[in-house]
Structure 1
Amino acid sequence: MPRQNDKREILTATAAGLFWRQGYTVTSLADIAVSSGIPLGNIYYYFKTKTDLARSVADIFVAETEDMLTQIVASDQDPRRRLQLLIDKLAQSLKSRVEHGCPIALGIRDFRRDSPEAASRAAEAFSLLIGFIGRELGRSGIRPSTALAIARNAVAEWQGGIMLAHGLRDPTVLAESFRRMERLLLGAKAHA
């Protein structure tokens, strides 16, 4: 029998998947109950409202991003290799992003009306990525303001690639976006 925290995690993971695949607005607590196998009445013990679930899902986005960046930092010291590892890790989800879009971006958009706090929390995942990229570019000798601009461009390239690939149902669009990210991040040169 799952422990209390396990049920909370199951409900959050189930909600995250349903919000991503069918949308926050149309997903009901009853849908989450059915998909999770946890009775609807029990959901209220863990989450009083759907907006409480949205905040918990946003926490997942941040935690998963932090975990990914921690793994990258632990695996290599070279800033360029770290950036390549980041691109490689992001590319691992190419198929699901083409099929469903970006769960973080969709969460930010969908949560904003009912739960602005959840939208802001979800957006922290993008801030973490931009900060990481900017720091690694800075470690390679690029000025902080330039590194920040390049980092924002890289995340915008990735997100734009996801949106266009999802809209066109064409994975090559996102694959091309990852190649442009590589050129942008790995081709950036330090200025004397």
Structure 2
Amino acid sequence: MAKRNDKRDILVATAAGLFWRQGFTVTSLAHIATESGIPLGNIYYYFKTKAELARGVADIFVAETEDMLTEIVEADQDPRKRLLLLIEKLVHSLKSRVENGCPIALGIRDFRHESPEAAERAAEVFSLLIGFIGRELGRTGLRPSAALGTARNALAEWQGGIMLAHGLKDPTVLAESFRRMERLLVPTRG
């Protein structure tokens, strides 16, 4: 039998997938119960509302991003290599992003009305990524204001690439965005 935290984790993971594929508004707690195999009445033991569940999903976004950044920092000391590792990790999600868009951006947009706390929490992912990129660019000698601007540009490139690739159903659009991000963050020395 699954422990309490296991069921909670299953519910949050199921909700995250459904919110991403179907959208937050159309996904009901009944959909989540059916998909997770956990009876609807039991969901209320863990989450009183769909808004609380959205907060759990946003917490996953933040935790996964923090784990990814920690892994990158532990993998290498060189800031340029760290930035390349970040891009490599983002590339691994190319197929799912083309198919469904960005779950973080969708969460921010979709959670905003029913669960503003969840929207703000999901937006922390973008702040974490901008902060990481800015710090690493600063370690390469870039001025703080230039590093911050470049970090924001890189994130905008990634998000815009996801949106366009998803809309056009064309993975090459996002692949091109990753190449532009690499040139922006780790320019070749000439």
> What's the TM-score, normalizing by structure 1?
0.97
* Structure 2 unmatched runs, 5+: none
Counterpart in the other structure of 2:132: 132
Counterpart in the other structure of 1:184: 184
Instruction: Find out whether 1:143 has 2:146 as its counterpart.
Output: no
Q: 1:66 to 1:188 in 2, by over 3 A?
A: farther
- Alignment-mate amino acid for residue 139 of structure 1: R
Distance across 1 between alignment mates of 2:124 and 2:187: 26
CA deviation after TM superposition for structure 1 residue 40, in Å: 0.2
Counterpart in the other structure of 2:68: 68
* Structure 1 unmatched runs, 5+: none
Distance across 1 between alignment mates of 2:2 and 2:91: 33
Counterpart in the other structure of 1:7: 7
Distance across 1 between alignment mates of 2:114 and 2:45: 21
Counterpart in the other structure of 1:174: 174
Q: 1:17 to 1:9 in 2, by over 3 A?
A: same
Counterpart in the other structure of 1:77: 77
SS where residue 158 of structure 2 aligns? Answer: helix
CA deviation after TM superposition for structure 1 residue 188, in Å: 8.4
SS where residue 26 of structure 1 aligns? Answer: coil
CA deviation after TM superposition for structure 1 residue 16, in Å: 0.2
Distance across 2 between alignment mates of 1:86 and 1:97: 16
Counterpart in the other structure of 1:160: 160
- Alignment-mate amino acid for residue 116 of structure 2: P
Deviation track 1:42-73 (CA, whole Å, cap 9, x = no partner) reads 00000000000000000000000000000000
Instruction: Find out whether 1:91 has 2:91 as its counterpart.
Output: yes
- Alignment-mate amino acid for residue 171 of structure 1: P
Q: How does 1:27-46 map to 2 (within 5 A)?
A: 27-46=27-46
Distance across 1 between alignment mates of 2:130 and 2:187: 17
After TM superposition, what 4+ stretches of structure 1 lie above 4 angstroms from structure 2? Answer: none
CA deviation after TM superposition for structure 1 residue 38, in Å: 0.2
Equivalent pairs, count: 189
- Alignment-mate amino acid for residue 131 of structure 2: G
SS where residue 177 of structure 1 aligns? Answer: helix
Distance across 1 between alignment mates of 2:188 and 2:86: 16
SS where residue 142 of structure 1 aligns? Answer: coil
Distance across 2 between alignment mates of 1:49 and 1:188: 50
Distance across 2 between alignment mates of 1:38 and 1:93: 28
What RMSD in Å do the two structures reach over aligned CA positions? 0.9
Distance across 2 between alignment mates of 1:151 and 1:127: 10
Counterpart in the other structure of 1:117: 117
Distance across 1 between alignment mates of 2:187 and 2:137: 10
Counterpart in the other structure of 2:50: 50
- Alignment-mate amino acid for residue 47 of structure 1: F
Counterpart in the other structure of 1:23: 23
SS where residue 38 of structure 2 aligns? Answer: coil
Distance across 2 between alignment mates of 1:93 and 1:115: 26
CA deviation after TM superposition for structure 1 residue 187, in Å: 1.4
Distance across 2 between alignment mates of 1:126 and 1:3: 32
